[in-house]
Amino acid sequence: MTNKINQLFKDQQDKKLLSLYFCAGCPTLENTGEVIKTMQRRGIAMIEVGIPFSDPLADGPVIQSAATRAIKNGMSLKKLFSQLQEIKEEVEIPLVLMGYLNPIMHYGIEAFCKSCVESGVSGAIIPDLPFKDYQDVVKPIADKYDLRIIMLITPETSEERIRFIDDNTDGFIYMVSSAAITGAQKSFDDAKQEYFRRINAMNLRNPRMIGFGISNKQTLEAAQSNAAGAIIGSKFVTLLNESKDADEALDKLFEALRS
């Protein structure tokens, strides 16, 4: 069976994809399954499920606050896997876990990969995973379970390293729109647009998704016209926290993306 991430990009080559991030266990401990099923029903192509961690270095205040709340609510990796297992048969779109190395190491790399597959997860993004550790330790185990480990690139990443990542990963490449932390932006400046064009011109093997700072029509269109699609995190997390209801949060998000 083909990995769902690979299948998504194969099936949707011309469609501009929209992927959303939310933090598991926020706003409530038990809403993970409901949020995922609602997003799928509303046409979201791929979902990033955040593993809450006490020290999320790459995240801005919105996602940091969501992680703190989720931990207070009692969310853990073990709890998350059991929630995902419950809805596994109902989820057809790719799920990607996004989390830091510490909780994953604590859980155990092999146990993590095995639990991902058992609960219907197709990939993982581990922002603080050193590439050498990925190659030497994580990749052989992830490959055994057909789990995609997604790597991030930024405007500061050298062409040599980008090509190295492209040659040694599968699924998609996460293009971070700026070297800053996560958070909504009103527009992408010339430097970011130039970065998007530069990566486009490299003709990479893997499809790319652009994330960080997408919150309105301008940033969404810029991302979708320069990659396979866009990933939205902070904006959706804010709306979900405010409304406590995934449908309502999505209504407001789609409205913001039209303006």
pLDDT tens-place string over residues 201-222: 999 999 999 998 898 999 999 9
Amino acid at 5: I
Q: Which of 11, 14, 34, 59 is catalytic?
A: 59
Rounded Cα gap, residues 207 and 161, in angstroms:
16
pLDDT at site 184: 53
For the chain, give the mean pLDDT: 93
Is the pLDDT at 58 greater than 80? The verdict is: no
Residue of 177, 128, 173, 124 lying closest to 146 (CA atoms) = 124
Rounded Cα gap, residues 52 and 134, in angstroms:
21
Query: Which of 17-26, 55-64, 92-101, 194-203 is predicted with the least confidence, judged by mean pLDDT?
Result: 55-64
Query: Which of 48-62, 66-80, 162-176 is predicted with the least confidence, judged by mean pLDDT?
Result: 48-62
Q: What angle do CA 79, 127, 213 make, to 5 degrees?
A: 100
Query: Which of 39-53, 56-70, 154-168, 241-255 is predicted with the least confidence, judged by mean pLDDT?
Result: 56-70
Share of the chain above pLDDT 70, in %: 95
Rounded Cα gap, residues 190 and 184, in angstroms:
17
pLDDT at site 99: 95
Query: Which of 5-14, 19-28, 106-115, 129-138 is predicted with the least confidence, judged by mean pLDDT?
Result: 5-14
Band of the pLDDT at 251, cuts 50, 70, 90? Answer: very high
Is the pLDDT at 14 greater than 90? The verdict is: no
Band of the pLDDT at 185, cuts 50, 70, 90? Answer: low
pLDDT at site 213: 85
Question: Which distant-in-sequence residues (6+ apart) come within 8 Å of 15 by Cβ?
Answer: 45
pLDDT at site 237: 95
Band of the pLDDT at 56, cuts 50, 70, 90? Answer: low
pLDDT at site 121: 98
Catalytic annotation present for 48: yes
Kind plus residue range of the DSSP H or E element containing 123:
strand 123-125
Return the DSSP state at 23: E
Rounded Cα gap, residues 64 and 7, in angstroms:
32
Tokens of 4: 């769902």
Concatenating the DSSP letter of every residue in 124-181 gives EE-TT--HHHIIIIIHHHHHHTTPEEEPEE-TTS-HHHHHHHHHH--S-EEEESSSS-
Query: Which of 53-67, 173-187, 219-233, 239-253 is predicted with the least confidence, judged by mean pLDDT?
Result: 173-187
Q: Tell me the CA distances in angstroms from 5 to 143, 241, 245, one per residue in order.
A: 14, 28, 27
Helix (H, G, I), strand (E, B) or coil at 42: coil
Mean pLDDT of 15-31: 95
49 or 57, which is more confident? 49
27 preceded by cis ω (within 30°)?
yes
Catalytic annotation present for 59: yes
Rg for the chain (alpha carbons), in Å? 17
Mean pLDDT of 231-243: 95
Q: Which of 11, 48, 118, 143 is catalytic?
A: 48
